[in-house]
Amino acid sequence: MNHSDIAAMDVDEQHNEDDDPFLQFVDYAISTCKAYSSGVTPAILLSELSQAWAENQRSGNSKKKRPECINQLQKKHKRVKLPNTITIDSIYEKNFLSLTSVLEVVIVDAFLLPGTNFYMLTLGDFWSSNTIDLYLHRRFYDLADLTNGILRKGREAFLTGCYLRTSGGSGRLRLLPTEYLLIILDEDEDDDAMLLGAQFCSDSLSSISIDAVNQGVSYSLYARIESIGSLEIQGKFGSLQRKQIDLVDNDNFRVKFLLWGDQVVLANLFSVGSWLALDRPYVSSSADSTLNSSEEICLEYGSVTQLYMVPFVRHEEQVPVASTQNHYQGSKLLTAVDPSQGPKVSQVTLPCDSRGAIDFSNYPFRLFVADLRDKMTCISIYGVVTNIKKINNQESTFSLRIEDITGGIWAKLHFSKSWSLRKISIGHTIYIAGLTCSLAKHKSIEVSWREKERGSFFVNLSCLPSLLNSSCLHKSSTLSDLSEKCSNTHVCRIWLDQIEHCHVNLRYCHASCGHIATKNVGFSCNFCACCCDDDIVRSFHLKVTIADNTGKVVAWCTGHMATELLQISPDEFFDLPEEEQIMYPSSLEHEKFIVALVNSKRDGYGTIEGLSLEDDISNWEITQALKSD
> Block means of pLDDT (10 residues each) for the chain, length 629 residues?
35 40 70 74 76 60 65 79 91 92 95 90 92 94 90 94 75 88 93 92 89 91 91 71 92 93 94 94 79 75 95 81 62 38 66 81 85 90 91 82 92 85 89 91 87 85 88 87 83 90 89 85 83 88 93 91 92 92 89 92 50 60 90
pLDDT on residue 293? 58
Beta strands in 456-576 (DSSP E): 457-460, 476-477, 490-497, 503-510, 517-519, 523-525, 536-548, 551-558
pLDDT on residue 617? 63
Query: Cα separation of 77 and 72, whole Å?
Result: 9
pLDDT on residue 78? 74
pLDDT on residue 597? 94
What kind of fold does domain 316-332+346-463 have according to CATH? OB fold (Dihydrolipoamide Acetyltransferase, E2P) (2.40.50)
One-character DSSP codes across 374-387: SSEEEEEEEEEEEE
pLDDT on residue 610? 45
pLDDT on residue 603? 53
Query: Cα separation of 270 and 307, whole Å?
Result: 11
pLDDT on residue 4? 37
First CA to last CA across the chain, in angstroms? Answer: 38
Domain ranges for the chain: 11-157+168-175, 190-310, 316-332+346-463, 471-627
Is 627 in contact with 592 (CB distance < 8 Å)?
Answer: yes
Using alpha carbons only, how large is the chain's radius of gyration in Å? 29
CATH 3.40.1370.10 fits 471-627, yes or no: no
Burial call 118-151: b when 16+ CB within 10 Å, e when fewer = ebbbbbbbbbbbbbbbbbbbeebeebbeeeeebb
pLDDT on residue 107? 95
Determine the number of helices (DSSP H) and then strands (DSSP E) in the chain: 11, 35
The pTM for the full model equals: 0.65
In CATH, what number does 190-310 get? 2.40.50.140
